[in-house]
Amino acid sequence: MCLCLFVLIPFNSALSSGCDNQIFIWNVGTGEALITLEDMHSDVIYSVCWNRNGSLICTSCKDKAVRVIDPRKGTVIAVSSFQRYICIGIFIVYDQLYLQYVRGCK
């Protein structure tokens, strides 16, 4: 299975993640990877999004955790885990985090 997410932001950058559990920030003009974030997820990343000014990234992962990441520092600044649910979609609107899809898990 290959899962790839790709999100553009207005600063000539793109955000992507895939089944390799890594996050990349790309320069859209050159195709160069500006930032690579590794070792932050123990499993497949289901969803990834920016806040509106691009200073934070939020991810949901198969490990049942939602993470807020500072991409410039390369650090996880907050983690929430859900024991009975897997968050498979997230989005940020005006700096408010919303879980788009949540499904029960046995």
Q: What is the pLDDT of residues 45-104, one digit of tens each?
A: 888 888 877 888 888 888 888 899 999 999 999 888 877 766 767 767 666 666 655 555
Q: Judge: domain 4-104, CATH 2.40.128.630.
A: yes
Distances (CA, A) of 53 to 36, 49, 57, 85: 19, 11, 10, 29
| pTM > 0.85: yes or no | no
Cα-Cα end-to-end distance for the chain: 21
Residue 10 binned pLDDT confidence (cut-offs 50, 70, 90):
low
Tell me the residue length of the chain.
Answer: 106
Looking at the chain, the whole-number percentage of residues with pLDDT higher than 90 is 10
Question: Which amino acid type is present at position 33?
Answer: A
- pLDDT confidence of residue 42: 85
Instruction: Give the DSSP H/E element, type plus range, for residue 80.
Output: strand 75-81
Summarised one tens digit per residue, pLDDT across range 14-51 is: 888 878 889 998 888 898 999 999 988 888 888 888 88
